[in-house]
């Protein structure tokens, strides 16, 4: 499938997304500089989130709407999202900056109105966030737009993923990528469970990737080695500016190191092919072959003392050793001479 100009397939390079999220800290200037920094760091894409506090939750003080068990403990959902959201009036400018920088840009919608708004900006793809994987009406509406749908699976059991995929198919959309995700902020590395990258691809017959909240770049590199075709990481100019997502976001240097490591890992993974490279062919001269190891006269019977399997590999293949032993030499040899099968009878 294609996201804008980027072809994503089983053999393509990994599509690397810098997640802006709340890391603009309420400043469009910071958002713009973050997009430019993401380009310098080697990202292929910058991703936004499109919601308001009112489209994602209710303005309520009831216990259900207070956060527990996260880095945002004690806060009201409404207040967190009021702080974190990206103003919709910024979107067109940020999309234009991304285009000028040579970055693909799309967003995560959190309700129907966000989808409609993003459609007006002609986004090339959509991302369904982990906590929205159970919002089947939203997935159906998003998938109906006919664009690639990337779905994070952070809180999803098998049945949740299956229903989300089925919903996309029923909407006539099979352009689906599922991202392994651990919805913890930051996520412990021992909970990354990267074997699921392969398992999800097998179980749901889709391309897979990683939405990562661990610290560092080990988990993304492992994910790519297991077939991840997308890696998404939260990106920030500098964690010192603060904000809801600052503690688990990568700065420019860290992100660049991750990108460079992923690209090296892709080179190391290579392809499944027994054909030797030119360097490997050249290296064969250091392999073993059969050489004369003791002077041998024409008419003599070859014994173990006359030939040995040694380096280098210019002479006869060692697999003929037993075949040559016991035969009669047709010519004179001295130590170090190469041999051929037709030298013996």
CATH code assigned at 134: 3.20.20.70
Q: Is the pLDDT of residue 274 over 90?
A: no
Same domain, 196 and 302: no
In terms of phi and psi (left: phi > 0; alpha: psi -120 to 50; beta: otherwise), the region of 142 is alpha
Same domain, 227 and 304: no
Same domain, 239 and 291: no
Q: Three-class SS of residue 79? A: helix
Same domain, 257 and 315: no
Residue 6 maps to a domain: no
Same domain, 121 and 246: yes
The predicted model gives 217-245 an average pLDDT of 95
Same domain, 306 and 206: no
Residue 3 maps to a domain: no
Residue 19 maps to a domain: yes
Same domain, 227 and 291: no
More confident call, 96 vs 281? 96
The least confident of 56-60, 85-89, 239-243 is: 239-243
Say which CATH number the domain at 314 has.
3.90.1210.10
Closest of 101, 91, 96, 108 to residue 19, by C-alpha: 108
- The whole-chain average pLDDT of the chain stands at 95
The residue out of 251, 269, 287 marking a domain boundary is: 269
Same domain, 265 and 286: no
Place of tokens 């080179």: 267
Residue 4 maps to a domain: no
Q: What is the number of domains present in the chain? A: 2
Phi, psi (deg, nearest 5) at residue 68: -135, 150
**pLDDT tens digits for 178-217?**
999 987 778 889 999 999 999 999 999 999 999 999 999 9
Place of tokens 């906590």: 131
The residue out of 238, 269, 300 marking a domain boundary is: 269
**pLDDT tens digits for 293-343?**
999 999 999 999 999 999 999 999 999 999 999 999 999 999 999 999 999
Range of the domain at 211: 12-269
Q: Three-class SS of residue 83? A: helix
What pLDDT is recorded for position 316? 97
Percentage of the chain with pLDDT > 70?
Answer: 100
In terms of phi and psi (left: phi > 0; alpha: psi -120 to 50; beta: otherwise), the region of 111 is beta
Same domain, 226 and 325: no
Same domain, 74 and 195: yes
């Amino acid at each position: 499938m294609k996201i804008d100009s980027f072809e994503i397939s089983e053999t393509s390079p990994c599509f690397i997304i810098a997640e802006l999220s709340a890391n603009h800290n309420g400043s469009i200037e910071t958002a713009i500089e973050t997009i430019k920094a993401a380009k310098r760091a080697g990202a292929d894409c910058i991703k936004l989130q499109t919601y308001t506090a009112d489209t994602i939750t209710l303005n309520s003080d009831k216990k259900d709407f207070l956060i527990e068990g996260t880095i945002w403990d004690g806060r009201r959902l409404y207040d967190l999202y009021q702080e974190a959201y990206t103003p919709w009036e910024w979107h067109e400018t940020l999309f234009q900056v991304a285009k000028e920088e040579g970055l693909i840009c799309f967003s995560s919608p959190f309700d129907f109105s966000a989808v409609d708004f993003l459609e007006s900006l002609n986004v090339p793809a959509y991302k369904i966030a982990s906590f929205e994987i159970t919002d089947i009406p939203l997935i159906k509406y998003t998938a109906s737009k006919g664009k690639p749908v990337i779905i994070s699976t952070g809180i999803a059991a098998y049945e949740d993923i299956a229903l989300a995929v089925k919903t996309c198919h029923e909407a006539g959309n099979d352009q689906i990528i599922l991202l392994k995700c651990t919805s913890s902020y930051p996520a412990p590395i021992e909970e990354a469970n990267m074997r699921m990258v392969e398992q999800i691809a097998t179980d749901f017959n889709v391309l897979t990737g990683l939405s990562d909240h661990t610290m560092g770049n080990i988990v993304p590199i492992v994910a790519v080695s297991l077939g991840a075709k997308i890696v998404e990481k939260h990106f920030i100019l500098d964690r010192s500016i603060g904000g809801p997502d600052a503690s688990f976001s990568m700065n420019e240097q860290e992100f660049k190191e991750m990108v460079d490591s992923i690209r090296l890992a892709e080179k190391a993974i290579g392809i499944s092919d027994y054909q030797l490279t030119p360097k490997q062919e050249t290296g064969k001269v250091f392999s073993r072959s059969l050489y004369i190891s003791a002077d041998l006269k024409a008419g003599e019977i070859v014994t173990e003392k006359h030939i040995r399997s040694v380096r280098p590999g210019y002479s006869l293949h060692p697999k003929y050793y037993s075949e040559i032993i016991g035969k009669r030499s047709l010519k004179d040899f001295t130590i170090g001479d190469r041999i051929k099968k037709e030298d013996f009878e």
